[in-house]
């Protein structure tokens, strides 16, 4: 938990950071899953989420951050999460994202590019709710693009 909170503190502005109590409460949710990426002994990135309370059979991605940006770490991590969700029987993956973060990055575009997620609803307070159906074609496409590095790989229809 300490490693997640340290990365969170470096990557997010104060009002978006989680407290220890927030992490404890999330860790109690059904289907809680945490993936930590390390480089040697140093934590580099993380993802955590749990079963989606709004969508039966869905998985909700609550938080993800990487200390290294623009090198494919986030896309690879996000792909592994989608594979995990699919392999564990989840039918959809959802998450919230700001249209643009405080560094001027268009986060919705990142999620749409990396995972072809679609906007379900917009919210100025929570960020946009994005969702994608977890199909064999979807996870295979993400695997080829973000794990194998085949950027021109086309999704089977």
For position 98, which CATH number holds? 3.40.630.30
Burial class (CB in 10 A: 0-12, 13-18, 19+), 66: buried
| Token pair recorded at residue 139 | 């996870």
Strand order through the sheet with 92-97: 33-39, 42-51, 58-66, 92-97, 128-133, 118-121
Asked if residue 37 belongs to a domain, the reply is yes
Would you say residue 71 lies in a domain? yes
Identify whether 153 is part of a domain.
no
Q: What's the mean pLDDT when you consider all of the chain?
A: 90
Q: Cα(4)–Cα(26) distance, rounded to whole angstroms?
A: 13
In a domain, 157, yes or no: no
* 118-140: average pLDDT: 91
Residue range 32-83, pLDDT digits in tens: 999 999 999 999 999 999 999 999 999 999 999 898 888 889 899 999 999 9
CA angle 52, 54, 60 (to 5 degrees): 25
pLDDT > 90: percent of the chain: 60
Query: What gap in Å lies between CA 10 and CA 71, rounded to an integer?
Result: 18
Number of domains forming the structure of the chain: 1
User: In the predicted model, what is the mean pLDDT of residues 96-113?
Assistant: 79
Residue 154 forms part of a structural domain: no
Residue 67 located in a structural domain:
yes
Distance CA 35, CA 40 (A): 15
Helices (H), the chain: 2-11, 20-27, 73-87, 107-115, 136-142
Determine the distance from the C-alpha atom of residue 156 to the mean position of all C-alpha atoms in its chain, rounded to a whole number: 23
Query: Is residue 111 domain-resident?
Result: yes
In a domain? residue 142: yes
Contact of 67 with 7, CB cutoff 8 Å:
yes
140: containing domain: 2-147
């Amino acid at each position: 938990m300490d490693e997640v909170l340290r990365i969170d503190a470096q990557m997010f502005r104060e009002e978006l950071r989680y407290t220890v109590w927030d992490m404890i409460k999330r860790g109690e949710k059904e289907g809680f899953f945490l993936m930590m990426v390390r480089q040697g002994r140093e934590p580099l990135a993380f993802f955590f989420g749990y079963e989606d309370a709004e969508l039966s059979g869905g998985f909700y991605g609550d938080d993800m951050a990487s200390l290294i940006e623009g090198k494919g770490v986030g896309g690879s991590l996000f792909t592994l999460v989608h594979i995990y969700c699919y392999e564990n029987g989840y039918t959809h993956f959802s998450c919230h994202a700001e249209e643009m973060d405080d560094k001027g990055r268009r986060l919705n575009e990142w999620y749409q590019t990396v995972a072809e997620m679609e906007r379900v609803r917009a919210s100025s307070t929570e960020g946009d709710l994005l969702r994608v159906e977890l199909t064999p074609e979807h996870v295979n496409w993400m695997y080829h693009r973000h794990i194998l590095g085949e950027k021109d790989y086309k999704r089977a229809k």
